[in-house]
Amino acid sequence: MDFSSNDRAQWKAELEAYESRLESLAKADLVSLDSFYRKELPLLLRQRDPDPFISKAELVRLMRWKLSRGKWRPRLLDFVSSLEEEEVQLASKKGFASLPDLSKAISSLTVMKGVGPATASAILAAYAPDIAPFMSDEAMMAAMGSVKEYTLKQYMFFAEKLQQKAKELSGEGECFTASDVERALWSSAMGSKSLSSSTKVEPRAKSNKSSKRKRKH
């Protein structure tokens, strides 16, 4: 999907296809992890207002979700699993308290080993989806044309673009958050990959039939 498009119906369709495309990946525990991340965790964080924090166990589950939905990097999970509970709660309290200053919030979270800007953005997105979209490979590629720079500076550009897109798409009874935009972009990328895979299979099948016919001659 073209990031510059303001076709609200198309964006909504991609967002609504998110869950089915997530399921189509057939990855162990991904659906349950996604449910935890999108539905349970936000409620837990809000219940802790006015001084929200994320626990170590919740951060480990969040990391599992992030790695399962994207590229699996076991060392990151090892780093996060080795963190102390007090360390996680203290850093996350500072991060959430820094909002809406995204730069300060990300910097407060990345003091934890294994937590870079992308993971920090996932933590913040669970609490403030309107201003802190998750820095996924797919959304980065669509919005920025690059997935190489996972830096604070790059995230700030990325977040601003998704916030602006959310504003452009909201209206006429529809309300998009920056996180909705990220999920729509991820969903669109998965849909394109699926379509690409299916079209690649057909020529091979024809090729096999053709070679069988040749052997019969």
> Six-digit token pair at 100?
């809406």
Range scoring the smallest mean pLDDT among 36-40, 115-119, 208-212: 208-212
Please report the pLDDT score of residue 60 as a whole number. 98
Read off the pLDDT band of 194 (50, 70, 90): confident
The three-state secondary structure class of 15 is helix
Q: Which amino acid is at 205?
A: A
pTM tops 0.85, yes or no: yes
Q: Which amino acid is at 116?
A: G
What mean pLDDT, rounded, does the chain reach?
91
Alpha-carbon gap, residue 16 to 18, rounded angstroms: 5
135 exposure class (CB count in 10 Å sphere: 0-12, 13-18, 19+): buried
Please report the pLDDT score of residue 216 as a whole number. 42
* 56 C-beta neighbours (distance < 10 Å), count: 19
Angle at Cα 121 formed by Cα 95 and Cα 39, nearest 5°? 95
Judged against a pLDDT cut of 90, whether residue 209 lies above it is answered with: no
Alpha-carbon gap, residue 176 to 179, rounded angstroms: 8
Please report the pLDDT score of residue 120 as a whole number. 98
Q: What tens digit of pLDDT does each residue of 105-143 get? A: 999 999 999 999 999 999 999 999 999 999 999 999 999
